[in-house]
Structure 1
């Protein structure tokens, strides 16, 4: 069988050439051009007639530079496993499978799990390089094991601060640097009490720029864990009263039915509770919150950070005008503005075939609008009344909230 794989993507560890297998060594020996980070290229001995090229800035130029040498024997160096948050997956999208061979090395995640004695399949890996660290909050739970890929030497301190703020200051942290190499480092401690390690100057030991943090989550006394599979308590959100209450939110989300990779428009988002719950339910989901009220946009910004979904996109403006140019959604929730001319029409037209539209009404006028829209679009109307027990003199009685009408409809597939 003829090997058409002109491009070899080689995972390399801190141990350099000595840690590579025979196939990777042979590929490097015959390559006329080797791409890689300056750190990786420095791990290889010089070879006559071979060109070494560090990655360009911005990195997005790298793919074109590699593909410009298509058909030549080229190697690309990457950290550990190139297919795990690495360049290998990006190159695989740009080349036929038979033109590319990936030769992985143990990833830093595998090495850290081995050092900790953790089964890797039970660990959540969270990249914090090029992504908001606030995403860690989404995975906090008693006993959870996290591996956080740091952006730089400041990440461990920022992570410890986040854990303390979220009520997980008792969590055990281990910071690993240069995993798998001769200068591997490790320091341990808790988020609240700091990490062990003292420099020769007497101060705290600085963390290496390239590091990984293992976190064994431990909730502080009184911390209330937040579920990702049921509606959050109303107290989890900062709001001014414009909030889809917990029981109604659960019913609404059940009808929106988050699925992997789907996009939600949360129209008239208030404090952002629906979009935030949508993102918490499925990590690969996307959501856009549309809100015209400046103070409520502030609520959304703070709620999305605190509840671990900083990727919630926020659009300032009033629908339907603010919806122009937004990506096509698979689900739309209309929590306000049902009587605004053209709003529902625009949402229905923008919705992807097979997508779901859910709208809630609390007033007679908006309920009438939902009845009219059901006659045009079909779907289901549900009227919900929720009562809560509260003190009534020496006894307890039921306080009934205003009934809510929900319209849920699926757009036909042509």
Structure 2
């Protein structure tokens, strides 16, 4: 049967994250710093709005692009929060999570052989989605020396006649690195010079800690060449709701809408009603989560450095990406031994692409009590390895 499968699908490697989650799930007394998911429950008012929509019988399909009211709220939110204006009728699409948004964005712009520049380390689905769409991922490695921030000259060095777009994620998963406005302006200059598109994954936009988030779409003429992909999973603690969205110029958006129509129809109706409430009245809860994550980030960075795991201070998301090079172990060896010996689950940096080896990803979306115990165990592990 294997010979009947798509050669493209056969060429893809399974997610490197999943193996460690499955192993951790089979063990007792494990503290998981691996899951990229908020430890907060979705706000009650959001849950209540969704329940109310069911009680009122709102269980049919919505418009393919999403509820009109939700798209209006997204238009208002993008303008108020990030200074970017979109037409809610033609330039906003509600999707089944940020993952589907990335998928339709890739498929809408890629012709066979088109090259998409991807900044690594990055989320594990980026390159596979490009490949599935018929494109060629072109990785650019970032390192701890620059706090894993993309440098403009790195983009220019890999541009060819086949280059179609640059894929960005800021704040970044797995490093937590967050690009400043000035850094994005320098990147925008290169993008415009070579007439590229940008797909920007802004799923962590609400979770920045040291300075306000800047969308590259808000810079100069970038709006008309940028596809914003985002969602409610991280900032609004709505991972299981599977609700994302895309903001893009009308021609790009309408192309993505066609793919969405044929493959998904629409996002879940009750989730859309919950999202309307989140955008209208969820800012207080988002801010409380952000403050809590900031405290945890500061604790993790300080504590990891104290136990000789060198770690930069990430500007956003809820991950730290410490170096484990002092141990002499590969990132996979480190993660597996730490799990087996001390019952702490982290993700090896190697699964996130170039620049990831020699590091592990630790999520601080856990209680302070769990983080403190995890640090105690990791510290004991380090004493045995150094």
Bin for the TM-score computed over the shorter chain: under 0.3
State TM-score, norm by structure 2: 0.26
Greater CA radius of gyration, 1 or 2? 1
State TM-score, norm by structure 1: 0.25
With CA pairs under 8 Å and 6+ residues apart, which has the higher RCO, 1 or 2? Answer: 2
Between Structure 1 and Structure 2, the one with more helix by share is 2
